[in-house]
Amino acid sequence: TPEPAESKATASFVVVANRLPVDRVEHADGSVDWRTSPGGLVTALEPVMRRQDGAWVGWHGAPDEALEPFENDGIQLVPVDLTAAEVEDYYEGFSNGTLWPLYHDVIATPGFHREWWDAYRKVNQRFAERTAAVAEQGAVVWVQDYQLQLVPAMLRALRPDLRIGFFLHIPFPPTELFQQLPWRDQILEGLLGADLVGFQVSGGAQNFLRLVRARLRQETHRDEIRTAEGRTVLARSYPIAIDASELHELSASEPVAARAAEIRHDLGDPDVLFLGVDRLDYTKGLLARLQAFGELIEDGTLDVDKVAFVQVATPSRERVEEYRQLRDEMDRLVGRINGDIGRIGRPPITYLHASYPRDEMAALYRAADVMVVTPLRDGMNLVAKEYVACRQADDGALVLSEFAGAARELRQAYLVNPYDVNGMKDKLIEAMQDSPRNKARRMKVMRRQVAEHDIDHWASAFLDDLGKTGPKA
Ligand code: ADQ
């Protein structure tokens, strides 16, 4: 371990994630400021960070720019610099062009490029080194997500005194798919550097345990792995959650209620409002969902004068080819449906690319009668939980893909196979026509589930388990 790191080491709790939890704000006079970016992870970890001299290690979002550590809202932020070429190969390439599609059932074809892998390794090493330099003796380190799967082992090599946790926000794939990866063993070994590896659902943990046994010949007993060097690594599921009470209260507020009514009015006061909210991503099942809705109008099951579908789809990863393609396909599909079956003042689909503040999101959720969440594969899906949390009178209905992690917990949703367009059409109708009594019964159970398992519960479940593992400092 290089000694100079010792002098700067000040944090007893370190979060390591691809991005820092801040966005850059540039003022008219050219000065630069940082604003905490909204997000569940930041909200959940802020109190722990403040209690414990926390630091957050991550990229600041500007390629080819070197930044010194700084403080924001009482949290020490430790920037990791990336060159434009590294953003292309490590982030857009290996993270979003290889791992993302591979871990989501190869819905899109993963690219296996050696130069992407080289950049991934190099950038992971840099994250590990930055972390090693800020973590004090015996500190707890929590590494986040698929962009950083090599960090646990790299960090352990530098700092065997640390307690290291890792959490994967996306699915961990079936063994047959994972084994396509030319660097499969390196990824497994990278993760095994942690004391605790967390997954969204138990199926992910099981896939991981199976691979570790089959490929690395490590012994496992239930959720424990004995590594070759005699360490114990735990693999468990921790379904991520939301700040349910905050969102419920926001949705109950007078301005949000008024805005929800206004949204419905502006849409022409439809009898039934369907809503979809997603990042514009091929895993989210947007095309089949809108196709199902369009067909229901075309075949006369739904009346275009009485229903409306609002689809919010925020563009993301636009430098990756598959995302550009999807955006074009969506433009075509929505244009065709609206052009074919719309009437003046009645486009069946209102399609929006905007990114909204929390209160507008709450108003949309509150306004919707049927929330449509139909990903082809999703680690968890927070939108489904957010809709449930926003219910005020246990009205509304959630149509949810079986292939979202959230379907494990939200059993009372109208569950669908998103590959089955006819099945989806039937479910949309069932969700819409079910009796208020049935809807209330289902929603009540789900609302309790979401309220009782909130984001604080998630973070403390993980950190409590992590605290019981690893080296005794
Ligand atoms: P995502 O794939 O981004 O997350 P999701 O869990 O639905 O998917 O989270 C999206 C978040 O962004 C939600 O909080 C939602 O409210 C917000 N959002 C979406 N569109 C928005 C818009 N137009 N304006 C404002 N906010 C918007 C990944 C995994 C998921 C996993 C999460 C957390 O893919 O499976 O649930 O991480 O672990």
Q: How far is the CA of 381 from the centre of ligand 1 (A)?
A: 7
| Residue 470 predicted with pLDDT over 80 | no
pLDDT, tens digit, 9 for 90 and up, residues 299-347:
999 999 999 999 999 999 999 999 999 999 999 999 999 999 999 988 9
The active-site residue, picked from 23, 169, 394, 434, is 169
Ligand 1 pocket residue status of 364, Cβ below 6 Å: no
The residue whose CA has the least distance to atom 22 of ligand 1 is 355
The residue whose CA has the least distance to atom 15 of ligand 1 is 383
Respond yes or no: is residue 394 known to be catalytic: no
Query: Which of 15, 314, 382 to mutate for ligand 1's pocket (most ligand atoms within 8 Å of CB)?
Result: 382
Ligand 1 pocket residue status of 109, Cβ below 6 Å: no
Ligand 1 pocket residue status of 188, Cβ below 6 Å: no
Alpha-carbon distance of 263 to 265, in angstroms, equals 5
Radius of gyration of the chain (CA): 23
The active-site residue, picked from 89, 378, 453, 454, is 378
* Placement of tokens 């600041």 in the chain: 60
Ligand 1 pocket residue status of 170, Cβ below 6 Å: yes
pLDDT, tens digit, 9 for 90 and up, residues 186-213:
999 999 999 999 999 999 999 999 999 9
For 395-424, what is the mean pLDDT? 98
Q: Letter for the amino acid at 14?
A: V
Respond yes or no: is residue 457 known to be catalytic: no
pLDDT, tens digit, 9 for 90 and up, residues 72-105:
888 899 999 999 999 999 999 999 999 999 999 9
